Chains A and B, each alone.
Chain A
Amino acid sequence: MDLDITLTDAPIAEQISAPFPVGSYGAWLEFRGVVREEEAGRKIAALEYEAYPEMAVREMRRLVNDIAGRHPCLAVRVIHRIGLIPVGEAAVYAGVASRHRAEGFALLAEFMDRLKLDVPIWKRGSRGFEPVMAKVSVNVPAGAGRKPSPLSLDEARAKIQSCCQPLPAIRVPLVEAVGRVLREPVRATEDLPPFDCSTRDGYAVLADDPAEQHEVVGVIHAAGWQPRQLRSGEAVRVATGAPMPCGGLRVIMQEDAVLEGNYVRLNRTDSAINIRRRGDEVKAGQLLVPEHSKLDAGRLALLATAGLAYPLVSPRLRVVHLITGDEIVPPGQTPQPGQIRDSNSILIRGLLAGQVGELYQAHLPENFAAAWSQLPLNKIAVADLVLVSGGASVGERDFTRPLLERLGFHIQFNQVNLRPGRPLIFGTKGSQAAFGLPGNPLSHFVCFHFAVAMALARFNGDCPPVFQRGVLPDRFVSETCSRETLWPARLTLSAGRVILHPLNWGSSGDVTCFAQANALIRVPAGQANFAAGAEVEFLPAGAI
C-alpha cells in the first residue's frame, strides 16, 4: 500500500492529485474536515491546533496500516494541518484509493474515528473576531484636529521593531522548514563522521605493516559494517566512505595496488593515511547551526545529517493585502480615462515571495460601508500582518486609518518624515501588525523595504535588515528636500566594493526606476552633495 502522511502548518491544497498508477483503483475517496464557525457554542474566526509531530505522524501511519489489514486499500494520503486555521478551511484531509468503494469507505470512516482518539493532536484554543464598533470618523483626513508630528526614519523603524515580537515557534518536518528561521541552536548529538572511514577506494592495511603482498580478507562497501582485527599481511578492500574494520590502519589507494588473484601488491608512494577519523568534522555537542539562522539548502542538509527531523522554526507568516482605489483596473484591462492599471498587487506579491506562507489579496471599493461588508474577516483574524494599499495619503477619499481602527488596530504612527513614503500608517492589535501603504508603487517599494521588511524579520525571529555602507561612483547632488530621502539605486559589486548608482527618479509616482532598484540610499534632509567616491548608507532592496 502506498502511504503518505504529512503534518503541515500551510493551508491544505484545494486540489490534491489522485495516486498512481491510474487504472489500478476503482474508487478515490476524499474527505476534508473543515473548521466550523462555532466552537463550544461560541462564534469563532479560527481554531488553533497543536501536535506532537514525531508521534502524530507515526501514530497515523500505525492506524492506517492496522485498518488496512482488515480493509485492504491501494493508497492512502493524509494531511493534518496545525497552527491557526481560519473558519472554512480544512484541518485534515484524507484520500483513499481502493479497488472497490466499500473497503475505501470502511478504512476512511474508521481512520477518522480513531484519529480523534489516538493521534496526539490537540485543538488549542480559538480566536474570535470582534470588530471595534466604536463610532469612527469616515472620510476624515488621518490626524485631523491634531498636530501631526511625523516620526523620523529611525524612530519609525525602532517603533516597528519594538511593537513586533517573534511569533511562537513551531516544530515542523524538515521538508516544511525550507526558508524558515531556526529558533533553537542545534548541536550535534553524535560525532561526524560517526566512525573512522576511508577517503579513497583502496585497501586498508595495518599502518605499520612492512609486508609488500597482502591477502585480501574482506570487502567493505560504503554502507558496510564489518569489524575485524587485521593482521600483518592482510588487507581489506574498502570503498570511499566505508567504515574501517578496526583501528591502527591506513588505506592505500587502488591506483597504487596491483591485484593478483586473492593477493594485492601495494606500492607505498606516499605516507597518506587516507582515513577520516570519527568526529573529524563535528564533535558531539558542537554547535552546528545557531539560533536565528535562515534554513537554506546547506543548513537543512546539515540538520538532516545530524538527524534533526523536526526543527523548531518560525511559523509561516500569513499576510492579508487589501487593495483599495476605485481608479485601478487589472493589468489585462485597458484603463478608461482617469484609471490606471493595478501594479501594487503583483508588486507586493513579488516582494513577499518566499517570505510568507500565505498571502491573501482582495480588492476593496473606496466606499467605506461597501468595503467593510466585503472584508475577509476570517483571514484578517488569523493574519500576522495586514497591508492596505492606497488611501493613505491625506485626502477626502482616504479610509485606511478608519478601517484599521475599526478592525481594532491601535495606530502607532501615521506619518514618517521621509521621501517617498511620508503617509505610512503603522498599527498593532495584540501580536498582529498592519501597515497602510501610500498608494503609488515607488512608495510601496520604499515602505516595504524600510518598514514591512522590519516587521517580517521580527515576526520570524530573524535579524532585522540594517543599513550598510557603499560607495558612490560619481558626484551626486540631490535637490533640496526638508525630509530624509531613501533614494532608489542600483547596487553592483566591483573589485570587492559595493558601488551604488543612484537612479533617475522624478517623483514618487515614477514606476520605471524601481524595476532596476536593488538598494535605497539614505540621503539626509536638506541638499545632499556627495563627492565621487563618497561613502553612503544604504538599505538592501533586492537581489544583486
Chain B
Amino acid sequence: MRVLFFAHLKDVTGQESVNIILPFPHDPGQLWERLLELYPALAAHQSKVRLSRNWEYATAETLFQNEDEVALIPPVSGG
C-alpha cells in the first residue's frame, strides 16, 4: 500500500510517501496503529488528520487493502 503525506506531515515524517504491506485488510484504527508505529511523531496530529482511500475520504467503515493508495490529509487551506 502506498501512503502519501502532504503539507506539514511531510516534515513530520520526513517523507512524501511510504510503501507498507498489510497482513490483512485494516480499518482506520488499525491503519493508524500501524502508521504510529512507523512515525510516532504523527500522534500529535492524528486528531486533525483525515485518511483518504483511492482519492476519497475514508469513513469509519472503510477497509484499507494493499492495492490502495492512501493519503493523510491534514486540515486543508486552499482557495
A residues lining the B interface (CB < 8 Å): 33, 49-52, 54-56, 58-59, 80, 91-92, 112, 115-124
Residues of B within 8 A of A117 (CB): 76
A121 touches B77 (CB 8 A): yes
- Closest residue on chain B to residue A92 by CB atoms: B79
**Contact partners of B78 in chain A: CB under 8 A:** 49, 51, 56, 80, 91-92, 115-116, 119-123
Name A's interface SS: mixed
Measured between beta carbons, the chain B residues less than 8 angstroms from A58 are: 55-56
- Give me the interface of B with A, judged by CB distance under 8 Å: 4, 6-7, 52, 55-57, 71, 73-74, 76-79
Can you list 26 residue pairs at the A/B interface with Cβ under 8 Å?
Answer: A49-B78, A52-B52, A54-B55, A55-B52, A55-B55, A55-B56, A55-B73, A56-B78, A58-B55, A58-B56, A80-B78, A92-B79, A116-B77, A116-B78, A116-B79, A117-B76, A118-B76, A119-B76, A120-B73, A120-B78, A122-B74, A122-B76, A122-B78, A123-B77, A123-B78, A124-B7
A417 to chain B, nearest CB (A): 44
Q: How far is the CA of A230 from the CA of B42 in the complex (A)?
A: 57
If A50-B7, A52-B4 touch, whether A120 touches B56 (CB-CB below 8 Å) is no
- Cross-interface CB contact of B52 among A115, A120, A122, A124, cutoff 8 Å: A120
Q: How far is the CA of A91 from the CA of B78 in the complex (A)?
A: 8
User: For the complex, what is the distance from the CA of A120 to the CA of B74, rounded to whole Å?
Assistant: 8
Q: What is the minimal beta-carbon distance from B57 to any residue of chain A, in angstroms?
A: 8
A55-B52, A55-B56, A120-B52 in contact; A112/B74 too (CB < 8 A)? no
Given contacts A33-B79, A112-B79, A115-B78, contact A122 B6 (CB under 8 A): yes
CB proximity of B69 to chain A, nearest CB, Å: 8
The CA of A117 and the CA of B73, in the complex, are separated in Å by 11
A58 to B53, CA, bound (A): 13
Q: Which residues from A are CB-within-8-Å of B4?
A: 52
Contacts of B74 in A (CB 8 A): 122
Chain B interface helix/strand/loop/mixed? loop
Min distance, Cβ B38 to any Cβ of chain A, angstroms? 20
Q: How far is the CA of A33 from the CA of B71 in the complex (A)?
A: 26
- By the criterion CB–CB under 8 Å, are B6 and A120 in contact? yes
Contacts of B7 in A (CB 8 A): 50, 122, 124
CB neighbours of A51 from chain B (8 A): 78
- Are A91 and B79 touching (Cβ within 8 A)? yes
Report the nearest B residue to A53, measured CB to CB: B55
B56 to chain A, nearest CB (A): 7
**Is there an interface contact between B71 and A55, defined as CB atoms closer than 8 Å?**
yes
A123 surroundings in chain B (CB, below 8 A): 77-78
Q: Report B-chain residues with C-beta under 8 Å of the C-beta of A52.
A: 4, 6, 52, 55, 71, 73
Q: Are B79 and A120 in contact (CB under 8 A)?
A: no
CB contact between A50 and one of B6, B55, B71, B79 (< 8 Å): that residue:
B6
> In the complex, A117→B74 CA distance in Å?
11
Query: Chain A's nearest CB lies how many Å from the CB of B45?
Result: 13
Contact of B77 among A54, A55, A112, A122 (CB under 8 A): A122
Q: Shortest Cβ distance from A536 into chain B, in angstroms?
A: 46
Among A52, A58, A59, A115, max chain B CB count under 10 A is at: A52
The answer for the CA separation of A49 and B73 in the assembled complex, in Å, is: 14
Please measure, in the bound complex, the distance between the C-alpha atom of A119 and the C-alpha atom of B78, giving whole angstroms. 7
- Complex: A118 Cα to B76 Cα, angstroms: 7
Q: Please, how many angstroms separate the alpha-carbon atoms of A80 and B55 in the complex?
A: 17
Q: Measured between alpha carbons, how far is A439 from B27 in the docked complex, in Å?
A: 66
Contacts of A119 in B (CB 8 A): 76, 78-79
CA distance A56 to B52 in the complex (A): 11
A98 CB to nearest B CB, Å: 21
CA distance A122 to B52 in the complex (A): 16
